Homo-oligomer: A and B are copies of this chain.
């Protein structure tokens, strides 16, 4: 076994590696969150987050996690006994559904095979049948971190509109925001949920929600009990750059820096970079003769790629071997995918050579672990990266 020296390669689909600029920005003395200097920070991150979500509606930033932001979306817009429409796109969609159930929400959960996103036509069909408009919300995961399949949010919005339905549209873009294209206002999303440790390139510790006028209106009548996650409490002090309770100040320093980095590169360039890296990763998987979990090319995730293990080989044994030999962390298969897949994250600050390091580690691991594969996936990835650059 190799002694651990040098850089660890963190290629799970989040937390993603934190850029040194961001770490260093956080490594500064905490300031008084009620003092005059704080307002500039507060405004910078609240307005900057709007730019990343591509919205003019408010964004709320909690000390918490994406799971907390899920809860925020539910408790501010729904009431006990409300009916919602969700889709089994993977593990996180399933967990969000369980949370909704805990809050007394009645979830219509459309089964799925974890290998594709939500079918817009199916959304339209179900909503069209709901003539009583008893469905209060459609809740969709934008980028399923457990499978590497995205759902086509803009098309689902159109499906809802075609069905002429009043349901709120709640979207989990926890692992999408800042990596996969996401346009809150243009796509007509009512509540988008995200967090700090994926495309925003921060350590975990912040949950974010982007709202809409319709969501804010829903919050006026929603009756689930709430306090910590309450939007109204947040929005008033937020206008001045302040928070109703102590914010995670140093993570906000980091968020300010991360937003600056995303803007320097340009959101369009950030999204294109993720697409290139994802295409190169799939080229490698194909080169190894292995299968990408996601079956729908239009729904391939730019954030991560889940790889199906050959029958009779355990994905977690491979991951363990790769971690030990090459100090490379890959994502495990979750719930019913446990042992069957491993996931390669290529999000956040990932660049070509970071990806090549990861893919080299996978190829060496496949060999070391006796997993049947064709040699040279890394060459296919290099070809893909090159063509991506030169075109």
A interface, CB within 8 angstroms of B: 1-10, 12, 14-15, 17-20, 23-24, 26-36, 62-68, 71, 80, 99, 102-104, 195, 197, 203-205, 207, 224-228, 230, 245-251, 261, 265-266, 269-270, 273, 323, 325-329, 332, 349-354, 356-358, 360-361, 363-364, 367-368, 375-376, 378-379, 382, 385-386, 389-390
Whether B323 pairs with A2 at a CB distance below 8 angstroms is: no
CA–CA, A36 and B103, complex, Å: 33
Copies in the complex: 4
**Given A33-B15, A363-B382, A378-B379, is A245 in contact with B27 using a C-beta cutoff of 8 Å?**
no
How far does the Cβ of A115 sit from chain B's closest Cβ, in whole Å?
Answer: 22
Of the residues B64, B205, B351, B364, contact of A5 by C-beta under 8 Å? B351
Residues of B near A31 (CB, < 8 A) are 8, 10, 15, 329
Question: Do B349 and A7 have beta carbons less than 8 Å apart?
Answer: yes
- Nearest B residue to A358 via CB reads B353
Q: In the bound complex, do residue A204 and residue B67 qualify as a contact, i.e. CB atoms below 8 Å apart?
A: no
Contact (Cβ within 8 A) A68 B228 = yes
Give me 22 A-to-B residue pairs in the complex whose CB atoms sit less than 8 angstroms apart, sorted by A's number: A1-B389, A5-B270, A7-B7, A10-B29, A10-B32, A24-B27, A30-B203, A31-B329, A34-B332, A35-B329, A65-B245, A71-B227, A80-B225, A102-B226, A203-B249, A203-B250, A204-B247, A352-B364, A364-B382, A364-B386, A376-B376, A379-B379
Q: Roughly how many angstroms separate A351 CA and B326 CA in the complex, as a whole number?
A: 8
Contact A325 B389 (CB under 8 A): yes
Partner of A27, one of B7, B27, B230, B261: B27
Whether B357 pairs with A353 at a CB distance below 8 angstroms is: yes
> What is the bound-complex CA distance between A6 and B17, given in angstroms?
9
Give Cα distance in the complex from A181 to B389, angstroms: 41
State how many angstroms separate the Cβ of A379 from the closest Cβ of chain B: 6
CA distance A265 to B332 in the complex (A): 29
Partner of A204, one of B36, B224, B249, B364: B249
Complex: chain B residue closest to A36, CB-CB: B323
Please measure, in the bound complex, the distance between the C-alpha atom of A328 and the C-alpha atom of B356, giving whole angstroms.
Answer: 12
